[in-house]
Amino acid sequence: MASKLIDEYFREDHLPHIWCAGCGHGILMRDVAQAVHNLGLDKDRVVLVSGIGCSSRAAGYMDFNTMHTTHGRALAFATGVKMARPELEVICIMGDGDASAIGGNHLIHAARRNIGITAIIFNNDIYGMTGGQYSPTTPYGEKGTTAPYGNIDRPFDIVKVAEAAGATYTARGTAYDAVRTTKLIEEGIRHKGFSVIECASICPTYYGRKNKKGSAVDMYRWQKENSVSVEKAKGMTEEELKGKLIVGEISRSEFPELTEQYQKIIEKVQGK
Amino acid sequence: MKQMKLMQGNEACVEGAIAAGCRFYAGYPITPSAEIAEGCAVRMPQVGGKFIQMEDEIASCAAAIGASAAGVKSMTATSGPGFSLKQENLGYACLTEIPFVLVDVQRAGPSTGLPTSPSQGDVMQARWGTHGDHPAIALSPSTVEECYTLCIKCFNLAEKYRTPVIFLMDEIVGHLRENVEIPEEGEFEIVNRTVPASPAEAGPAYACKNGSLIPEMAPFGHGQRYNVTGLIHAADGFPTNSTEIADAQVKRLVAKIEENLDDILAWEETDLEDAEVCILCYGGTARSAQSAVEALRAEGIRAGIFRPITLWPFPGKRLEEISRKVKKVLVAEHNNGQILLEAERVIKNNCRIDFIGKVDGTVITPDEIVRKVKEA
Ligand SMILES: Cc1ncc(C[n+]2csc(CCOP(=O)(O)OP(=O)(O)O)c2C)c(N)n1
Ligand code: SF4
Ligand SMILES: [Mg+2]
């Protein structure tokens, strides 16, 4: 089964990928392929836009129209693609630094506009590609090469930010729980407006080592043991939820999608 | 029949873009280019195109490139600080060979500078603003009519050479109002990128066919499913660490401009046949130079104008020829000496070089040029 997915959705001549052994990004990339497969999308109609980072390298491995752009700007490029050709299925893969630091403003505004793009964020709580500097999602007190004495910034909750900014579908999955995460991505793509799926990844090479999290297996085990479903979280206190990953569909709301609204303007102006 | 219309430079730029087939505009408001965004907001949906106001200039530039990758001719416009912000993605378009037009209605800098004052201070930034070695095409209009006609040319060059083109306007022409003769459809050339006939015939996305230096370009959705990346890439569009490929790629990007200078270069010569003084100027400055030449000639001083229309690539060969025939070249520009550097580079010791530059936000007057020409 897995190999059939590889045949159909990956560019085999460009594999193996550059990711370290144990890295969560490969699993998440597979989840994206599985979601596209489950939805039966035409590959020619799928545009995958990424930024810069280990996570963003996924674009080069996947057999769609792919655009590996500049650091933080994937959503801005994708906005141009989607506005120009709304019939295309536009998906963005970004890292946590990519999407929430340098690209944070684009995330907020894509959400505010409710443009029909699916934003998938591979969040490993660290800048992987540049060697382990702390990111906007590095937990308080944890270490990075640029936070040698512990991070004193408060981390972002990307899902909360996206929801507050107007994303009409938000969800959180993990690299550990491929089945659930695939479903969430699938729902995100199916959703008409702007959707954000934060996917907890792992970076054993930098985050893991710097913070003594053990092996990649230990880090996946941590994800398993600390994931709490949205349903279960409802009955838990804030104290109990500290340090936990709330997984599942977090929010859904209604607002007209941007390119559909613009089409109406065109029709009105042209008197159709 | 040609149509006459009273127009502002920025407005003419919008109409020129639409005539060229531009159907996507992304921008962020800034003076003195704001009328271009406002014009596109009104006009784009009327012609079935799209307008979007992005959250900043970085995003606007990215969106314009994204739209072009999807097969729609696109434009973004800005001034001063916004031009600085667009530089990273401009370089991305150079390397990925995605055509689009970047309009910069120059204003006085540096930084926020003099927000509504004329300047030509971005000439070197238009050449070298984005990092790394890269191709550059930049055109400078000096009349409202040229804001229209040269904007079409910008799109044509972008499409033909698969490269971003900078339309380097200035506040003087951007805000000028004058009569424009609007050519009829069919009276001007429209160039569209070459699209592979079918995905099967497409071949590697960045392979050049039949000795051309410019690869064909399929829009997203065409079926070719290729990869676009700002990393150095091989002909198949995928990243590579090969030093030979890196060398060949960067050199091809530059060569596709350098080896087509006959097609790309544009300039105008006025009263140069018998001239002893050549005024080298461009954009809005050429308007003052024109009046200066008339005044000088009335006094019996044989002055003429060499006006580069493509600032990049620079028509240096022609300027060098002229510099052998005149006694002096007077460079007049609204900066501290940017095209002056090009002039010095090509003229060397052929003749004397004088300079008038202004960075105070005021316009170089015909009188100032006349006085400078007369200086012993
Ligand atoms: C404008 C710019 N600034 C900085 C960089 C360097 N850079 C490359 S990747 C990266 C961080 C990547 O971190 P993240 O987005 O979390 O992705 P990850 O590698 O962790 O998957 C940075 C800072 C860059 N390429 N461009
Ligand atoms: S550095 Fe970290 S994020 Fe990058 S590939 Fe290695 S494990 Fe993955
Ligand atoms: Mg990261």
The CATH number for B175's domain is: 3.40.50.970
> Do B315 and B168 share a domain, yes or no?
no
Q: Which of B131, B163, B182 is the last residue of a domain?
A: B182
Say if residue B23's pLDDT is above 90: yes
What is the rounded CA–CA span in Å between residue A268 and residue A122? 40
- Both B20 and B150 in a single domain? yes
- Gap from CA of B258 to ligand 2 centroid (Å): 41
E strand segments, A163-244: 169-174, 195-200, 227-229
Q: Do A79 and B226 touch (CB under 8 A)?
A: no
Whether the CB-CB separation of B159 and B27 falls below 8 Å is answered with no
In CATH, what number is assigned to the domain containing residue A204?
Answer: 3.40.50.970
Return the SS3 of A104: helix
pLDDT tens digits, A198-245 = 999 999 999 999 999 999 999 999 999 999 999 999 999 999 999 999
Question: Which pLDDT score, from 0 to 100, does residue B2 have?
Answer: 74
Q: How far apart are CA B230 and CA B65, in angstroms?
A: 12
Tens of pLDDT, residues B314-348: 999 999 999 999 999 999 999 999 999 999 999 99
Does B342 fall in a domain?
Answer: yes
Q: Examine the domain organization and report whether B32 and B164 are in the same domain.
A: yes
How far away is chain B from the Cα of A188, in angstroms, using its nearest Cα?
21
Beta-carbon separation of A43 and B64 below 8 A:
no
Cβ contact, residue pair A76, B62, below 8 Å: yes
Question: Domain range for residue A182?
Answer: 2-269
Cβ of A129 less than 6 Å from ligand 1:
yes
Closest atom of ligand 2 to A18 CA is 5
Place of tokens 């995100």: A188
Task: Please determine, for residue A174, whether its predicted confidence score (pLDDT) is greater than 70.
Answer: yes
Closest to A60 (Cα-Cα) out of A52, B275, B95, A159: A52
How many structural domains does chain B have? 2
Chain B residue with CA closest to A104: the answer is B55
B185: its two tokens: 């459809």
The pTM of the whole model exceeds 0.95:
yes
Of the candidates A60, A88, A266, which has its C-beta nearest B238's C-beta?
A: A60
- Smallest Cα distance from A11 to chain B, Å: 10
- List, as ranges, residues with CB under 5 A of the ion ligand 3: A 95-96, 124, 128
The pLDDT of residue B201 is 86
User: Does residue A84 have a pLDDT over 80?
Assistant: yes
Query: Which residue range is the domain that position B63 belongs to?
Result: 3-182
Share of chain B above pLDDT 90, in %: 96
Boundary of a domain, candidates B182, B197, B216: B182
Atom of ligand 1 nearest to the CA of A203: 20
Contacts of B144 (CB under 8 A, 6+ apart): B7, B8, B9, B12, B173, B176, B177, B178, B179, B180
pLDDT bracket for residue A90 (50, 70, 90): very high
Which residue has the CA at smallest separation from atom 4 of ligand 2? Answer: A128
Whether A127 lines ligand 1, by a CB cut-off of 6 Å, is yes
> What pLDDT is attached to residue A224?
98
Interface test with B, best of A46, A65, A75 (most B CBs within 10 A): A65
Are B20 and B169 contained in the same domain?
Answer: yes
Any domain includes B263: no
Counting ligand 1 atoms within 8 A of each CB, the residue from A70, A73, A127, A203 with the most, and so the one to mutate, is A127
Give the residue from B135, B166, B182 where a domain finishes.
B182
Q: What is the pLDDT of residue A2?
A: 56
| A&B contacts, CB < 8 Å | 138
Q: What confidence tier does B185 reach under pLDDT thresholds 50, 70, 90? A: confident
pLDDT attached to residue A3? 75
Q: What is the mean pLDDT of chain B?
A: 97
Residue of B nearest to A113 (CA): B54
**Model confidence pLDDT, tens digit, residues B218-251:** 999 999 999 999 999 999 999 999 999 999 999 9
- Count of domains for chain A: 1
| Residue B240, domain member (yes or no) | no
Tokens of B235: 């002909």
Shortest CA distance to B169 belongs to which of B336, B14, B357?
A: B14
Measured from the alpha carbon of residue A100, the closest ligand is: 1
Regarding the beta carbon of A123 and ligand 2, being less than 6 Å apart is answered no
Atom of ligand 1 nearest to the CA of A99: 15
**CATH number, domain with residue B366:** 3.40.50.920
